[in-house]
A and B are shown apart, each in its own frame.
Chain A
Amino acid sequence: MRRQTSWKVWVAAFLCAAFVLTVGPSDAQTPGQSPSDARALLLRMADLIGKTPRLSVTVHSAYDTVQASGQKVEWNEIRTLTLSRPDRLRMEAEKSSGARTLVVFDGKEISAFDESSRAYARAAQPGGVDDTLVYFVRDLGMRLPLAALFLSRAAIELDGRVRSVEYVEKTGILGSPAHHLIGRTDSVNFQVWISDGEQPLPQRIVLTYPAARGQPEFRAQFSAWNLTARPADSLFTFTPPANTSKIPFATALAQAAPRPGGASAKKGVK
């Protein structure tokens, strides 16, 4: 009798331990979300945005700058981006200071307008949205955060640059169910919350620059995604308002400007 009871106790204890060890951890992770699934989820998100011909979205973003004192300052802005492939884009931005800017790709020209300064700059558009985004950011030195997400080849771009992706958890903390992923490129760590469901769109993105002093972050909260937008043609037209002046892009002047003291300019002429 005593030997029989002891046997039952040990079997029950084993089953109990097995239950805790197997069921417990599986509550913390969604089944089937291995690291390879995390990458696939990230690329599905990029592919959806890249293959959507017309869309609009509002982005509340903030970024840190580390001051000489070591203190961080957070700068906030709201951007509304409207995209109509293959070659048109409009981005309205309002900074926390109240300054508003407008960027328009009309298919032929890039226009950038600063409302408070009553000034605008223009440059020829080098091609479709993809080429123009790269030119705008790299060559004109302008800001268009997360521009890579809006390329038609966004999935290829991310696949080539993202070195690792991991699945963190499924959460509803942002208002609707989302998958929380973390990842790294060569120089940036990122977190992204992607909507669960048929339209895997980003709800929030956090970029961390680990090699920069103070490890500043860029944070973006997406809202009002519209993948069936039908923007009017007039939205992609920029007509300079009265009493505004046309100015060049700073990168164009920076390349042509004399060095301090004018020494280099004089040296070049013999």
Chain B
Amino acid sequence: MTRRFWPIVCATGLTVSLIGTIANDGHAQRGAARGGRAAGGAAGSAGGGFSREGPAASGGLSSRSSGAPAQQTRARDTGENQAARQDSRAGAQASRQQSRSSAQSSRQEVYEDEHWDEGKGLAVAATGALIAGTAAAAASAVAAPPPAAAVPSSQFATPAATPPPPAAAPCASPTSVPVGEVTYSKCGSTWYTQAYGANGLVYVQSAPPPGS
């Protein structure tokens, strides 16, 4: 009788363990499935080189891809018998719309205050129409970039691990015109000035230099 006792105990324990393991695996798989939801969106991309821009570049705790408060305004239905009441209603409606618009504007400001690191500024700085080239794009556009001048800089505490990339230019052979602190570069008939963007030097389309 004792000989039958322990095999039964062990078999029962093993069975329960197996059931537990299977249950845990199932739970984990359901969890993974829950975490795998996808949604639509768009990431920016530049023409020549690979784009460095995108929501993940900001490393922010908020993203512009979603989560922004809705900005829709609702149209108010009107019927044929509303003509008599239209004046007073129009006044009241204007007042409500104004307060609603003000409230929306206020909510938007609060949202932007709370989500200040969502990359809105990055998007402004990277507006394609204004940025003529970045270091990466320009480096790929220039046929034969000059060898990088490895200028030692006392500004950095540690030496560079990788040789620095060549300085950027807005096109292969721009005409440069320094005016005070600003250097204007001309490519064809378009003028650019240098600016400091999220990823370093960028070229921004500009008006011609004064006196040109």
Contacts and interface: CB of A to CB of B under 8 A. Distances in A.
A142 B54 contact: no
B20 A21 contact: yes
Given A115-B156, A214-B43, A250 B204 contact: yes
B12 A16 contact: yes
Given A20-B20, A80-B158, A216 B196 contact: no
Interface stretch (A32-40, A57-65, A170-178, A194-202): A57-65
Nearest to B166: A116
A49 B45 CA distance: 35
Given A209-B63, A250-B197, A216 B55 contact: yes
B206 interface: yes
B195 A253 contact: yes
A9 B5 contact: yes
Contact of B196 (A2, A24, A247): A247
B60 A241 contact: no
A187 B166 contact: no
A187 B24 CA distance: 29
B194 A13 contact: no
Given A148-B61, A212-B43, A98 B162 contact: yes
Contacts of B114: 160-161
A248 B41 CA distance: 32
Contacts of B9: 9, 12-13, 16
B114 to A, nearest CB: 7
Contacts of A253: 130, 193, 195, 204, 206
B125 interface: yes
Nearest to B206: A257
B43 A114 contact: no
A187 B56 contact: no
A17 B13 contact: yes
Given A117-B168, A118-B167, A141-B197, A97 B59 contact: no
A149 B68 CA distance: 22
Sorting the interface of chain B by its residue count into under 10, 10 to 19, 20 to 34 or 35 or more gives 35 or more
Interface in B127-180: 127, 129-131, 135-136, 148, 151, 153-158, 160-168
Contacts of B207: 258
A34 B196 CA distance: 46
Given A65-B56, A119-B196, A216-B55, A102 B204 contact: no
Contacts of B41: 209, 211-213
Contacts of B206: 253, 257-258
A160 B116 CA distance: 13
5 contacts: A25-B24, A80-B157, A241-B153, A248-B196, A257-B206
Sorted from nearest, which 3 A-B pairs have the closest CB atoms? A145-B59, A141-B121, A98-B162
Interface of A: 1-2, 5, 8-9, 12-13, 16-17, 19-21, 24-25, 28, 61, 63-68, 73, 75, 78, 80, 92, 94, 96-102, 112-121, 134, 137-148, 157-158, 160-161, 185-190, 207, 209-218, 220, 238, 241, 245-255, 257-260
Given A12-B9, A209-B55, A238-B155, 13 more contacts: A16-B12, A17-B16, A21-B16, A25-B20, A65-B53, A80-B158, A141-B120, A141-B123, A158-B61, A207-B56, A211-B41, A241-B154, A248-B195
